[in-house]
């Protein structure tokens, strides 16, 4: 009986404390509310056009060179990890660039937001560099 009383006192406090921390993803660390335009892929200029957005906590979406995509992203900042990336399946001349972009996005494990710059990298180095207009 004493144990049940102990749990009834501490469980609500633990739940309230967990709620205080909220979202720990890039969404809450400067990435939300912006459209991030890919400018470099593996240190080379990227001219095919791709964007990344953070529409809500734990989600990413965007426009790859040919298709729209979305995925989950729940790793706490500065880490970065996507769930499976779902994309539409339209063909275009830039499918090779699209595959390189989505592969790099899936391989990213670290993130950094520096004002209007978003960098996604892993142990091998910088994979993706994005710029935002605001």
Is 114 part of any domain? yes
Domain count for the chain, please give it.
Answer: 1
Is 3 part of any domain? no
**How far, in Å, CA of 132 to CA of 127, rounded?**
17
Is 4 part of any domain? no
- Calculate the average pLDDT of the chain: 87
Residue 78: which domain range? 23-132
DSSP symbol at 96? H
The answer to whether 69 touches 87, Cβ cutoff 8 Å, is yes
Give residue 14's pLDDT band: very low, low, confident or very high (50, 70, 90).
very low
Q: What does the pLDDT look like over 64-120, one tens digit per residue?
A: 999 999 999 989 999 999 999 999 999 999 999 999 999 999 999 999 999 999 999
pLDDT for 18: 36
Is 5 part of any domain? no
CATH of residue 90's domain is 2.40.128.270
Is 15 part of any domain? no
The answer to whether 83 touches 69, Cβ cutoff 8 Å, is no
pLDDT for 22: 63
């Amino acid at each position: 009986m004493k144990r049940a009383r102990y749990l009834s006192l501490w469980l609500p406090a633990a739940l309230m404390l967990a709620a205080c921390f909220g979202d720990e993803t890039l969404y809450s660390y400067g990435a939300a509310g912006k459209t991030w335009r890919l400018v470099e892929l593996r240190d080379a200029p990227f001219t095919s056009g791709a964007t990344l957005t953070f529409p809500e906590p734990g989600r990413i979406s965007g426009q790859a060179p040919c298709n729209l995509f979305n995925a989950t992203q729940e790793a706490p900042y500065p880490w970065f990890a996507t769930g499976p990336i779902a994309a539409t399946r339209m063909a275009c001349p830039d499918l090779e660039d699209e595959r390189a972009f989505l592969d790099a996005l899936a391989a990213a494990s670290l993130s950094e937001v520096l004002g209007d710059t978003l960098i996604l990298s892993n142990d091998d180095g910088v994979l993706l560099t994005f710029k935002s207009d605001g």
